[in-house]
């Protein structure tokens, strides 16, 4: 069975790598892949933000970012 993971990479002030790996649930893989492929195909930016949920109350964070995917050769 193939598993998908969203990997976020950054580095600290001292240039040490920081990596966060988030698994994509098997029931969400098809939609996730379609979403990514469409953004690459259309060269459209993706906005990312966080949501805090308590019961039925949802609160969007003030922290957000935007980026565009591009294809590259993986070695």
Residue 64: helix, strand or coil by DSSP?
Answer: strand
pTM above 0.75, yes or no: no
Record the tokens describing residue 4, joined without a space.
């998908």
Asked if the model's pLDDT at residue 65 lies above 80, the reply is yes
40: CB partners within 8 A, 6+ apart: 69, 70, 71
Question: What confidence score (pLDDT) does residue 54 get?
Answer: 92
Asked if the model's pLDDT at residue 1 lies above 80, the reply is no
Rounded to whole angstroms, the Cα distance separating 74 from 71 reads 9
Asked if the model's pLDDT at residue 3 lies above 80, the reply is yes
Record the tokens describing residue 55, joined without a space.
């019961």
Q: What is the pLDDT of residues 5-49, one digit of tens each?
A: 999 999 999 999 999 999 999 999 999 999 999 999 998 999 999
Question: What confidence score (pLDDT) does residue 71 get?
Answer: 80
């Amino acid at each position: 069975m193939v598993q998908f993971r969203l990997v976020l990479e950054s580095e600290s002030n001292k240039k040490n790598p920081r990596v966060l790996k988030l698994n994509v649930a098997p029931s969400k893989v098809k939609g996730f892949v379609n979403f990514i492929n469409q953004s690459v195909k259309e060269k459209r930016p993706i906005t990312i933000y966080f949501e805090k949920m308590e019961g039925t109350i949802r609160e969007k964070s003030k922290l957000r970012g935007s980026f565009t995917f591009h294809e590259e050769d993986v070695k």
